[in-house]
Amino acid sequence: MKLEEPTYWRDLINQSLVRFFLLKVLRQEPRHGYVLSKAIEEMSLGFCHPTQSTLYPALAELQKGGYVQVEIEQSGNRARKIYKLTIKGRDAYVAAAKTWGEIIPMMNRAATL
């Protein structure tokens, strides 16, 4: 762990932001993993690059907590998992957005001191 390295902080922040952006993107409409990953990358202006090793554990955690539900969609010969936000997930997004909205101005002030 090298606290003086920006990559340490980016990775740490990315872990939390991936969950926030999952909720945000799924609030718009249900999606499957690859589309979720691309939407998060686009929405975060490239800051978050969710890989399979970060995206799917986060989705599994959200599903286990009742924040998302999964539906199986057949696409040709393959089955695709479509993730959909639940009411509990919508409430979680509202709480997350409010909290990030409070933290970001504070971080901006702290970073300029």
**Which residues have C-beta within 8 Å of that of residue 58, sequence separation ≥ 6?**
18, 19, 22, 50
Of all helices (H) and strands (E), which one includes residue 93? helix 87-112
DSSP 57: H
pTM across the whole model: 0.83
Class of domain 6-112: mainly alpha
Q: What is the mean pLDDT of the chain?
A: 91
**Which residues have C-beta within 8 Å of that of residue 84, sequence separation ≥ 6?**
26, 30, 68, 69, 70, 71
Largest Cα span, the chain: 57
15-49 per-position pLDDT tens digit: 888 999 999 999 999 999 999 999 999 999 988 88
Question: Taking 90 as the threshold, does the pLDDT of residue 82 lie above it?
Answer: yes
pLDDT at 62: 96
